[in-house]
Copies of this chain bind each other. A is one copy, B any other.
């Protein structure tokens, strides 16, 4: 195609089937969040680049779609939502009763190497509770993520919540004599624990005065590693969700950002992918907006979860049904006599006003061809308007049953 334009690498065209799949995920996100009493918000897709630097440091720029706008502002297409949320919550904190229970569904952009489950553009569900520091909030967010997975059709055989507590490690480090200024270095070692050779880890730990054995023992006894972990587990057990949770202290997540409990929704199938993740970040609202406000939240992207749904039987069946359902029409009106086009249009209009998804042929065509169109569009019913109008024929397209009735009785018949 000589003249053809291409979609940018890492960006997606959502043709109707893909868009319906996207909407299915969005609808589940929205429905479960609302069941948990969350309200929806949205922030700008473009923000000052400094907003992201403030949270993540200058290196973040390397993975941003950032530029200077026509007004000489350094701006970025957002890579994440939390800095905007912190800005918004701080700016109007007096206008809302605490805790704020807010969720959002939006698009994000990162200039990254493409790989499976990761594009340069993706949608993300963000769910946060601000203004309350109780572990009950962490448990509520985890429960929401579990119910979300269950609504998609996943079971305890498909995923786990891996729960950890950053403060458990800070306390451990302090008890073990790790100097305060080495804390970040220490957490970096923990973060890499699963991916690095034991000898290398041990070598890094030595100057910090901690043994690999001590760390392994601490991890092995994770269930009781902190009061916060205990409370979260009790809370989730009360909801009948205890089986979904596994304490795994090797989870550290986002080094500079989290301040307490952290968790991941983890696919325990062959993929072993993190589907969602989050935790407590009590310092960010102050860092961004100069207002003290405890906060916790999590995010789920659309790409990994959609892959997982496609690969799993029940979840994929639900998705497939939803795609078909959202794109099918209810009724196709067949213009059997070209002279009756005006009458057919009135029938179409009445059906649409009554709420039916209705289509018809824009140009004259053989009745057989119109029936074909009706079936291709997934119509359940065809209504034939012909010479005998105001009497019409109603035909059920699955059972092939048909009956005639006066147009005035049509709505009652349906």
Contacts and interface: CB of A to CB of B under 8 A. Distances in A.
Given A46-B121, A97-B376, A359-B37, A352 B147 contact: yes
Interface stretch (A68-76, A253-261, A308-316): A68-76
Interface string A42-54: 1111111011001
B87 A5 contact: yes
A92 interface: yes
Interface in A306-331: 326-327, 329
A340 B223 CA distance: 24
Given A3-B288, A13-B44, A349 B19 contact: no
Interface size class of A (residues with CB under 8 A): 35 or more
Quick one: copies of this chain in the complex?
Answer: 2
Contacts of A71: 9, 111
Interface in A332-361: 341-343, 345-346, 348-349, 352-353, 355-359
B102 A46 contact: no
Contacts of A41: 13-16, 19
Interface of A: 1-9, 11-16, 19-20, 22-23, 34-37, 39-48, 50-51, 54, 65, 67-71, 73, 75, 77, 83-84, 87-88, 90-92, 97, 99, 101-102, 107, 109, 111, 121, 129, 132, 134, 136-137, 140, 143, 147, 234-235, 237-241, 287-290, 326-327, 329, 341-343, 345-346, 348-349, 352-353, 355-359, 362-363, 373, 376-377
